[in-house]
Structure 1
Amino acid sequence: MTEIAGVLNSMAALVIVSLLGYAAARLGFLAGPAREGISGLVFSITLPCTILNAAGQADRSLGGGHVANGLLLGLSFFLIMLVATYAIIALVKPSQEERPLYLFMGIFTNIVFAGFPVIEALYGSNAVFLGSIVFAVFNLLFYSFGVMLITMGDSGISVDMHRILSAPLVASAAAMALFLLDIHLPAFAAEACELAGSATSPLGMMLVGVAIAESDFAEVLRERRLYLFEFLRFIALPVALFMPLRALGMDEMLLGILVVLLAMPVGSIAPAVATAYRLDSDLPARGIVVTTVFSFATFPLLALLLTL
């Protein structure tokens, strides 16, 4: 449990960084054009670097079977999140305007900054390798099919291809190609991606604080839908899948990775990504805070469940 405590400490640090962003917005340092500029920087520069760095850090010596497992798990992970989130939205019944935002929160989760440390603490480096493949598959699907669904017009037909053909999608496709073809970036390029990508998490969390500072946060905290959505999507869903899949004899590591990633809170750069796709970033920002706070209680319980 020492490792899990370390993960919780890391998440507490992210919350503190978001509070620094809140303070910066209140003091006028990150308002208006500055916020939009940083959102664009995260979405178009540092996030693609994070994606490429994840592919470069993966251990490629474990064989094709592990790659196939990771690809299948990544596809299953995305489809489960998509179908389950649609079902949960039908139960929660948000307004028509908020439905795309709830879908966005349900499938855009904190895989790297929260998920990978938990996976490594429970299952070791081999699980991180599988997790990195899941991350690559997820990014490829999210920034194509997922974005198409989230930004789809009211008619259900009109789709803006310019929003889909984005820098993160290109980076995800490149990362998958590099990984599958066993091609490594030059050392200087890999180090540059690592350095630039390391800015994604703190900048993303500061944008969370900025979005909260510019909205009526107290009003949303009183909205029961957000808490019901959190419980159903991030707590009930992972637990409900764990029991039958374990009874069916699913591999322990694969099952653990799937359950852990399904329980991750809303992604820390959600406001930046939402802004890039012309969505309201306030609700995702609040969703991050709510799901992150809940995760302090759910992560230790999740670890106990997986180690029984």
Structure 2
Amino acid sequence: MKINFWTVFNQTLILFLLLLAGFIIKRLKIVDDHLNKNLTNIIIYLTLPALIINSMNYDFSFERLSKLANVFIITLGIYLLMILVSYLLVPFLSKEQSEKDIYQFILIFSNAGFMGYPIVNVIYGSEGVFLAAIYNLVFNIMLWTLGVMIMSRSHSKEEGINFSQLINPGIISIAIGLFIFIFSIKLPTAISDTLEILGHSTTPLSMLVVGSILAQVKLTEIFYNWRLWIITIVRLVILPVIVLVMLKILPWDFDILVLGISVILTAMPAAANTAIFASEFDGDAALASEGVFLTTLISILTIPLIVYLI
């Protein structure tokens, strides 16, 4: 399959321009911090769950089971790798727990949903989007468990894991989506269309919020933060290349589509949830936004190059 470099470049650029739009409207004082908080709640409690449920709204068939299982197992392995790398690398970058939380979150969680779906759709079509939903299933389980714990541990008054935080909109929507997928439930057209519209709004809303949060910091601080540059290189280049090499050398005969989906989604920039969750759980939202900004900017070049390597 021949992939047009500029098509992938264009999709990545669109996401960055949405972020830039959020930056501009905040700098021009068109929106304020209250709107940011309200939009964050809308994303977490409404549009993101709708996106998750809609991404699982496919008919179950045994013909697809092999590819689904392969993507699921590979994705689990990828997350184990990213978690391991984060725990090995982050302690050397900062002593501040709030900064370590952000760096670790960036290394573990890529923008596999907001950016992943449109880019995968351009490259592989609807079949690729379906497999990307399985990758994002693991992403969302990890996000709403480990991700919540990472972002809230600095401000949590409780020792250990707060299991009450694991019952949240993300986990509930995953359970609903799995139920619909496994039993091939046909949702009424009005409901499915509503979920689709709400889900599609997650990407622009998230990038607008991230850009708006970013407007509160100095851009020069981003480019002089050498720690953030190390995280960016690892996130965008080293991790996907490691995954590509490992999948190539494994004695496991799986479809090239499975390999491509796994590597491309790993090569996405920092998840927009980095800034969204930092804002929601009183973390370092400024550093989180800087990480999303820098990784998204650099990914305009790195994602097409990773696709070329595949």
**TM value normalised by structure 2:** 0.88
Letter paired with 1:270: T
- Residue number in structure 2 paired with 1:17: 18
Are residue 305 (structure 1) and residue 288 (structure 2) matched? no
Instruction: Give the drift of 1:12.
Output: 1.6
- Residue number in structure 2 paired with 1:198: 200
- Residue number in structure 2 paired with 1:276: 280
Letter paired with 2:211: G
Indicate if the aligned counterparts of 1:207 and 1:269 stay in contact, CA closer than 8 A: no
Closer/same/farther in 2, CA of residues 238 and 135 from structure 1, 3 Å limit = same
Are residue 243 (structure 1) and residue 245 (structure 2) matched? yes
Three-state SS of the structure 2 residue aligned to 1:112 is coil
Indicate if the aligned counterparts of 1:78 and 1:107 stay in contact, CA closer than 8 A: yes
Unaligned runs of 5+ in 1: none
Cα distance in 2 for partners of 1:2, 1:244 equals 22
Q: Which moved more, 1:142-151 or 1:183-192?
A: 142-151
| Deviation by residue 1:47-95 (Cα, 9 ceiling, x = unmatched) | 1111111111x46443332332233233223222222222231343463
Q: Which moved more, 1:241-250 or 1:17-26?
A: 241-250
Instruction: Tell me how many residue pairs correspond in the alignment.
Output: 305
Instruction: Give the drift of 1:150.
Output: 3.7
| Deviation by residue 1:158-191 (Cα, 9 ceiling, x = unmatched) | 3334433221221122112222222232221111
Cα distance in 1 for partners of 2:53, 2:140 equals 11
Letter paired with 1:291: T
Which residue of the other structure, out of 286, 289, 294, is the alignment partner of 1:290? 294
CA RMSD of aligned residues (A): 2.4
- Residue number in structure 1 paired with 2:263: 259
Q: Which moved more, 1:111-120 or 1:185-194?
A: 111-120
- Residue number in structure 1 paired with 2:160: 158
Three-state SS of the structure 2 residue aligned to 1:113 is coil
Letter paired with 2:291: G
Three-state SS of the structure 2 residue aligned to 1:185 is coil
- Residue number in structure 1 paired with 2:47: 46
Cα distance in 1 for partners of 2:82, 2:93 equals 16
| Deviation by residue 1:253-292 (Cα, 9 ceiling, x = unmatched) | 3332222111110123432232222222211211111111
Cα distance in 2 for partners of 1:212, 1:279 equals 14
- Residue number in structure 2 paired with 1:110: 111
**TM value normalised by structure 1:** 0.89
Instruction: Give the drift of 1:123.
Output: 4.2
Indicate if the aligned counterparts of 2:102 and 2:274 stay in contact, CA closer than 8 A: no
| Deviation by residue 1:94-140 (Cα, 9 ceiling, x = unmatched) | 63321111112122221123223443444444333221111112212
Letter paired with 1:275: S
Three-state SS of the structure 1 residue aligned to 2:36 is helix
Cα distance in 2 for partners of 1:247, 1:108 equals 25
Indicate if the aligned counterparts of 1:88 and 1:233 stay in contact, CA closer than 8 A: no
Letter paired with 2:274: A
Unaligned runs of 5+ in 2: none
- Residue number in structure 1 paired with 2:140: 139
Closer/same/farther in 2, CA of residues 119 and 27 from structure 1, 3 Å limit = closer
> How do 1:121-140 and structure 2 match up within 5 A?
121-140=122-141
